[in-house]
Amino acid sequence: MMPENAVQSAKDTILKVEDLRIEFRIGRKWYAATRNVDFELKADETLALVGESGCGKSITCRAILGLVDEPGSRTRGSINFKGQELVGLPDRKFQHIRGKDLAMIFQEPMTALNPVMRVGEQISEAITSHMQVSGAEARRRTLELMESVRIPAPEQRYRDYPHQFSGGMRQRVVIAMALACQPSVLLADEPTTALDVTIQAQVLSELRELRERNQMSVIFITHSMGVVAAVADRVAVMYAGEVVEVAEVETVFKEPRHPYTQALLASIPSVESDKEDLQVIPGQVPSIVDFPEACRFAERCPHVMPRCRQEAPPRFQVGSTEVRCWLYESENGETGQ
Amino acid sequence: MSDDAILKVTQLRKTFDSRSGFLGRKAKVHALDGISFEVKAGEAYGLVGESGCGKSTAGRALLRLIEPDSGEVEFKGQSVTSASKRHLRELRRHIQIIFQDPYASLNPKQLVGDLLAEPLKVHKIVTDAEIPERVASLLTSVGLPAEAATKYPHEFSGGQRQRIGIARALALESEFIVADEAVSALDVSIQAQILLLLQKLQAERNLSFLFITHDLGVLRYFCQRGSVMYLGRLVESGPTRDMLDRPLHPYTRMLREASPSPDPKTARATVKVAGEVPSPLDPPQGCHFHPRCPKAMPHCREVYPEMREVEPGRHVACHLHDPSVMGEQVEGV
Amino acid sequence: MGNTNSLIGMSVFLLIVIAALLAPIFATHDPVQQNILFRLQGPSAEHWMGTDAVGRDIYSRILYGARISLIIGLVSVGLAMIVGTAMGVLAGYYGGKIDQLVTQITDVLLAFPSLILGLMIVAILGPTMPNLIIAIALTTVPQFARVARAPTLSLRERDFIQAGRALGYSDLRIMYRHVLPNIFPEVLVMGSLWLATAIRVEASLAFIGLGVRPPTPTWGGMIRDGFKNILDSPWLAIFPSLAILILVFALNMLGDGLRDTVDPRLKGEK
């Protein structure tokens, strides 16, 4: 925890992911599920990691938490969290960080909760497992947390079991557990995807408030550009295991740079206005064993050039946007490898 | 029934028994509490609502995959609800269904070619010799290569499987398709592909749809008219564009505001969403929506509002739009 | 892992089946030919597994006995598999009264241990081959009904079954073409495991004197006969016991191995 008077400037980087490469062995060969994953998470901001299924957003999130440890997998590159390198950190040391300073919420609130344990006890367990506090203190903090995530009548609901909660309330419990040790970074993996729209809207606006009040940073993983618009300060768009574009949220929606981001936005049916035609991205996301060596979007890209099929594009800076696409080569110098 | 209606649903009801908890007493869930609507020929009619509102039950009750308790479903003037078993099988040729989960809706043990050939054989649509050709043309019409016939469903991605499901629904040359959250499980770019495919097929074959969805964007894009459901009842019906641009029912408005729109400015406006959907086991007295409604009046707690036409083609079940309740004060919500 | 086990089990089982089929070729003596001069002889070059109290060759009798065990086992389990699976699928698919009826029948039958039930039936009907088959089949039917009913119940709700109904397929067709292929692997696993049980039950019945009538050799009957001379000529009981042990063990290995390979969680349907 930062001391309260140490006001951080908005530019402080709290988590920096550089050239993250997560590989899996299939048969005798290693395949990269992600490569060229670069982004920074700054203090007090929400970064959305957005992309379609199989783009590598969830595995990236697991890698940050040190949870990619199955046999036949390896992680390369760098994940720097407050000056500490997380890639290769032994699990024993990771346990002091995970759940405490780096917390996580999952998509399915039902499976994230123990069905036979009282909700209040689960939250206070999250507190006592990382902090030396008395039972009474843990209970007091639990009730506080339940209140802060807007669970009505926390005193009564403390003794309830998860199945007595609705989906939205369960997700609030999960959020309360994640906040138990006042983490500086919260990783949220599609936390509202299983919820109905009206409940999703409530949880999203509460998450926004909580982030501001608790001075933490959030990495928010989602497949929905609508959710991105609602929560994010900055956005990293992922496609086929790569971060293809990083930009401020307004910029992404106003001036999407990467052809994939552009196509993704054009394929969302709008609630507000009648779109003449949905734009369709032809073809499919390649599977991990067929990821092209050069630009991974080339086969589906409307602006494809010969070079796209020969060489993977580096990061180019266009205004405040970082984009991996040869279209922007002439505009400005490279920023990355 | 108006002349151009292909499907007419009148006062359809279905209750399920539910036991609350272990040893709990039996309770009734009114999954469908008297819903009525009409789908015109060549039209895509939307049914929108949150989980548990009964929209999927409605789709299945139409085909009698779930037997409705009461009410009437008429397809081209013929009663589906009172059809004999044999007649029903004949009627089902004309009404098909596409499911949400492209992984669960195809028999994993059947080759794609076989699962497309089977309905052709059962209903003797073409001679046995013509089957391979017909299967190939079905596959092509949904944008899959003819070789797909020799593979198993698990060899395909979600979007491709949904195409197979669509091909199967087209095999019998049906005129009416119930699409039950048919694009909800798909990624947006794949969703757009499938929506365009359905649109193309609709134009080519003059198909009519009952399109069940929870996504207002998809509703607006695909459906000309539709209804909003809440706890087993329709609360608003009309042209989708009007419903979304000028919602009449407060629930429609709430759904509209809660729908995440890909625009940071509107998406961050404080959402005025209150409360949660109450348990269908114990719906509130009076208007089911009143506990969450920002405009609830004492009258709403007592009387369930009737569905009434308030503008040409627009129906809403809300006291705010009932002059006899509101007296002179009727105005936009 | 599962594959190696089922392969070993399968090989041993097939070996026994071949031995039983070709018993006349492999046998060194006539299995019912008595020869009082050579009674109770230990294993020798002439009588590989010795002779019994009336001088019959144990090795040849085991070969012929395998036929009885396998025929009774296979036919009864086959019958039970057909009847039980049909009952289970009907119950699971239609639900309601049919399901209640089937569940009640299976519950009643399952209340008796298979051996006791078999014993009662054979005692009433008499110990002939067809009666033994009926008795063992009857004790196994509920097992198959149960194993078929549960997955049918969940398959019924699956969209592809609903799609079949929407496409106007008859119920019979849906059950035969769509439900059955999906539950068949599990039924087959059950079959190999219950084949082992059936063979054990047959042997037990023969051991207490309710097997196929002498002089036809059965493994259970041989153990029963051998028991009288267990102290001075233990091989009389040991060799047929070993035969049962090996066959039952092989079938269990086969079944367990198969179960691992068809475990629904490992199937390629996500």
Q: Tens digits of per-residue pLDDT, C16-38?
A: 888 888 878 877 777 777 777 77
> CA of C179: which chain B residue's CA is closest?
B107
> C2-13+56-262 sits in which CATH class?
mainly alpha
What pLDDT, on a 0 to 100 scale, did the predictor assign at position A41? 94
What pLDDT, on a 0 to 100 scale, did the predictor assign at position C216? 77
* Residue A291 exposure: Cα atoms within 13 Å on the Cβ side: 19
Q: State phi, psi for B245 to the nearest 5 degrees.
A: -80, -40
Tell me the shortest Cα–Cα distance from A249 to chain B, in angstroms. Answer: 7
Nearest by CB to B97, from C163, C177, C268: name it.
C163
Which of B53, B156, B160, B188 to substitute to test the interface with A, most A CBs within 10 Å? B188
> B330: pLDDT confidence band, cut at 50, 70 and 90?
very low
- The residue with greater pLDDT, C220 or A47, is A47
What pLDDT, on a 0 to 100 scale, did the predictor assign at position B315? 96
8 Å CB contact of B261 and A281:
no
Q: State phi, psi for B128 to the nearest 5 degrees.
A: -55, -35
Identify the architecture of domain B5-94+172-329 in CATH.
3-Layer(aba) Sandwich (3.40)
What pLDDT, on a 0 to 100 scale, did the predictor assign at position A6? 42
Strand partners, B47: B212, B227
8 Å CB contact of A198 and B254:
yes
Question: Do A190 and A268 share a structural domain?
Answer: yes
Burial tier of A138 (Cβ tally within 10 Å: 0-12, 13-18, 19+): buried
Burial tier of A89 (Cβ tally within 10 Å: 0-12, 13-18, 19+): middle
CA distance B44 to C127: 70
Nearest by CB to B273, from A202, A249, A264: name it.
A202
Q: State phi, psi for B90 to the nearest 5 degrees.
A: -70, -45
What pLDDT, in 10s, does the model give residues C97-126?
Answer: 899 999 999 998 888 887 788 888 888 888
What pLDDT, on a 0 to 100 scale, did the predictor assign at position A275? 64
Instruction: Express as a percent the part of chain C with pLDDT over 70.
Output: 96
CA distance A172 to B49: 23
Nearest by CB to A197, from B160, B189, B255: name it.
B255
What pLDDT, on a 0 to 100 scale, did the predictor assign at position B271? 63
CA distance B277 to B283: 9
One-letter amino acid identity for C198?
A
Q: How many domains in chain A?
A: 2
CA distance C162 to C166: 6
* Residue C109 exposure: Cα atoms within 13 Å on the Cβ side: 23
Question: Do A247 and A151 share a structural domain?
Answer: no
Instruction: Express as a percent the part of chain B with pLDDT over 90.
Output: 66
Overall average pLDDT of the B136-150 stretch: 93
- Would the pLDDT of C264 be above 70? no
Domain boundary among A262, A282, A302: A282
ipTM of the complex: 0.84
CB count in 10 Å sphere of residue A141: 21
Domain hosting A215: range is: 13-101+183-282
Question: Do A268 and A130 share a structural domain?
Answer: no
Question: Do A206 and A167 share a structural domain?
Answer: no
- Would the pLDDT of C227 be above 60? yes
Residues of chain A neighbouring B258 (CB-CB closer than 8 A): 197-198, 200-201
- Packed helices C96-111 and C129-157: angle between N→C axes, nearest 10 degrees: 140
What pLDDT, on a 0 to 100 scale, did the predictor assign at position C266? 42
Overall average pLDDT of the B313-328 stretch: 86
Q: Is A293 contained in some domain?
A: no
Burial tier of C245 (Cβ tally within 10 Å: 0-12, 13-18, 19+): exposed
Residue C72 CA, distance from chain mean position: 7
What pLDDT, on a 0 to 100 scale, did the predictor assign at position C79? 95
What pLDDT, in 10s, does the model give residues B165-215?
Answer: 999 999 999 999 999 999 988 888 889 999 999 999 999 999 999 999 999
CA distance A63 to B174: 49
Residues of chain B neighbouring A223 (CB-CB closer than 8 A): 187-188
Residues of chain A neighbouring B159 (CB-CB closer than 8 A): 284
What pLDDT, on a 0 to 100 scale, did the predictor assign at position C135? 87
What pLDDT, in 10s, does the model give residues C229-254?
Answer: 778 878 888 888 888 899 988 988 88
CA distance B251 to B283: 15
The sign of the dihedral angle between the CA atoms of A125, A130, A135, A139 is: negative
Those residues of chain A that have pLDDT short of 70 are 1-11, 275-276, 331-337
Residues of chain C neighbouring B154 (CB-CB closer than 8 A): 268-270
CA distance B57 to B26: 20
Q: String of b and e for B219-241 (b: at least 16 CB within 10 Å)? A: bbbbbebbbbbbbbbbbbbbbbe
Please indicate whether chains C and B are in contact, defined as at least 3 beta carbon pairs under 8 Å.
yes
Total beta-carbon pairs less than 8 A apart between chain B and chain C: 73
DSSP 8-state code for residue B306:
P
Question: Do A278 and A140 share a structural domain?
Answer: no
Instruction: Record the tokens describing residue B114, joined without a space.
Output: 């076989």
Strand partners, B78: B75
Residues of chain B neighbouring C166 (CB-CB closer than 8 A): 63, 65, 92, 95-97
- Would the pLDDT of C75 be above 60? yes
pTM value is 0.82
Mean pLDDT of all residues belonging to chain B: 89
Q: Does C182 lie at the interface with B, CB-CB under 8 angstroms?
A: yes
CA distance A224 to B41: 33
> C42: pLDDT confidence band, cut at 50, 70 and 90?
confident
| Lowest-confidence pick of A104-108, B73-77, B82-86 | A104-108
8 Å CB contact of A197 and B217:
no
Question: Do A122 and A271 share a structural domain?
Answer: no
Nearest by CB to B65, from C162, C173, C269: name it.
C162
